Amino acid sequence: MREIIRGAAAVAGGTLSFLFGGLDDLLVVLTVLVCLDYVSGVIKGIYRHELSSAVGFYGILKKLMLFLVVSAAFMVQRIIMAELPIRDITVLFYISNEGISLVENAAEFIPIPDKLKAVLKEFTKDEKEKK
């Protein structure tokens, strides 16, 4: 049994390394924020009496797509052998998005500092102008 667990851990580690370039702090933070954002979204859905398995499944698909894009960014970085850390830039972008979403969900329950609200509004405004 111990050998099976070790083998599974080796396969998981190899897969993470191949797809994402390893499990560094950026990827750990992104993974934690993705989970926290999902849980905060479920809590918000319960609070608003809008909890839906279809919406929850769609949320999981969005999170899965996020990790697919991060993997694609790492693969592009590998083939072009650029000094530019494409994967890290992509991960940082998604860390900021997940953080913003988490704060927006939390705003339903707790006060958010005015300075943070101003920064979020500015970021949201910039994103809308780009579309």
| pLDDT at residue 2, as a whole number | 86
CA atoms within 13 A on the CB side of 15: 6
Report the number of distinct structural domains present in the chain: 1
Give pTM, 2 decimals.
0.81
Rounded Cα gap, residues 42 and 46, in angstroms: 6
pLDDT in the model for residue 1:
85
42 CB contacts (<8 Å, ≥6 apart)? 51, 56
Question: Average pLDDT for residues 45-68, to the nearest whole number?
Answer: 94
The chain-wide mean pLDDT, for the chain, equals 88
- Name every residue whose Cβ is closer than 8 Å to that of residue 40 and which is 6 or more positions away in sequence: 101, 102, 105, 106
Range of the domain at 41: 2-130
Residue 118 predicted with pLDDT over 80: no
